[in-house]
Structure 1
Amino acid sequence: MIMIEKNSFRRMPLIVAAAAFAASALYSAAPAHAHGDVAPQPVDTKGLKALPDGDWLSSNPYRGNKKAIEIGSSAYNQNCARCHGLDAQSGGIAPDLRELGTNYDDYFIGRVRKGVHRNGVTYMPAFQDTLNQEAMWAILSYLDKRHYELEGKDLETLYSEDDSKQ
């Protein structure tokens, strides 16, 4: 015969609430740890002007270049979309990269090269051993296009920036 203490049922809601809290705490912590688990994928940058090895530029040499935007779109989807969202539209896990604009080239390249690490947690992996400078700038060229679209700016203005570099 099983004996159930009279007060056991009164404690049940407390036990269920504690278990639910523990489960939600573990679940909400998971994205922070899983955030940096993307394995960087190499990118084919054929068709882009080669940049000097080891001499990292501080501004995007491909801004407005349609080929760079095409390569950057593919590279973004392979390496960035998992955390930063499809079409660079963040779902809230990571920053919305469409909002970078064209004044943060050096900031962007530094983050992509070195990754983002805080308190021993990797929030974004380093890509400098996988992606070359051309691939990183191509991704930024794609993000520039997405920024123009977000702001409702004329894309021909962006494309003309490449024409002026010829």
Structure 2
Amino acid sequence: MKFNGSLALGVAAALCAGTVSYRVLAHGNVTPQAVDTSALPDIGETWLQHNPYRGNATATKIGESAYGQNCARCHGLEAISGGVAPDLRYLEVGDTGDEWYIQRYQHGSVRDGKVYMPPMGDVLGQKAGWAIRTWLETKHEE
């Protein structure tokens, strides 16, 4: 079989294009993974506005796992975004950041009718959301 450089270049270009398309399509079409929050203290059904688990080592560990399973595909490993979604290391820490975070977590983000982030509150629950927030604060950068 004779090597055809043009054919090889065309196949390589097609594969690269396919990879780029896959990343874009993968952004919004994902299945949330369950988070075991049984080790965390109960916080009730009413949505809290401030993180009840701040500084809790168990919540940090659960949040790290939950983030990796449900958030990293868009927001990046270790919360370092590749540009598709916001880099969550720069979220404001403390109560002020909690307000923005929980709003997005509960309701998602929609612009011009396009879903940029699905609402995760009803899917993963409040305990998982605050655990993720707890872990994110350990990754904070100015």
- TM over 0.5, shorter chain: yes
What pairs with 1:59-74 in structure 2 (closer than 5 Å)? 59-74=50-65
Q: CA RMSD in A?
A: 1.8
1:122 deviation in Å?
1.0
Aligned length: 121
**Aligned counterpart in structure 2 of residue 41 of structure 1, from 33, 40, 43:** 33
- The equivalent of 1:116 in structure 2 is 109
What pairs with 1:1-166 in structure 2 (closer than 5 Å)? 31=24, 34-53=26-45, 55-102=46-93, 103-147=96-140, 150-151=141-142
Contact 1:37 1:125 in 2 (8 A): no
The unaligned stretches of length 5 or more in structure 1 are 1-23, 152-166
The unaligned stretches of length 5 or more in structure 2 are 1-16
Identity %: 52
Distance 1:115 1:37 in 2: 14
- The equivalent of 1:15 in structure 2 is none
Which is greater in Rg? 1
Distance 1:64 1:79 in 2: 21
Distance 1:136 1:38 in 2: 17
Distance 2:92 2:138 in 1: 9
**TM-score scaled by length of structure 2:** 0.78
- Per-residue displacement from partner, 1:68-117 (whole Å, max 9, x unpaired)? 00000000001000000001111111111010031310110110111111
Distance 1:76 1:119 in 2: 27
